[in-house]
Amino acid sequence: MIFIIALFILLLDQCTKLLAVKNLIVNHSVPLVKGVLHLSLTHNRGAAFGILKNQTPLFIFVSAFAVILIYSVLRGNRHKGYSFYSISLAFILAGALGNLLDRLRFGYVIDFLDFRVWPVFNVADSAITIGAILLGYSILKNPRN
């Protein structure tokens, strides 16, 4: 079930990015709720907040390593059932895979969600953030994970 969660998030990420690419113009903003939520297609060649621009090989290596590590941990934890720990790793796995696929295919990550007070991001970024929050909660609740 954990891998189904990851697959669902990955598919949601890739489908929303496809819709963004097909319906938006790069660096052009479409307001959904003016001043609050816009759709703004951007090509992020860096990491979070655009740092370390044009370091694609580094990001591909780090992402691939993270994906392999998380996958192996999840495979090893199958007998423990569903916990915040495994769900958090599924979210992080899906987000890392979504952005890794973009980097491998395009050399950049497709971002399009723009809340105007935060850098433009995507579903994969959201999954990584939610996963990290759940992981922190899981570790604080049960440090033996």
Catalytic residues: 111, 125
Distance of CA 143 to the CA centre of its chain: 25
Give the end-to-end CA distance of the chain in Å, rounded to a whole number: 19
Q: Residues 55, 102: contact at Cβ < 8 Å?
A: no
Which DSSP symbol is given to 101? H
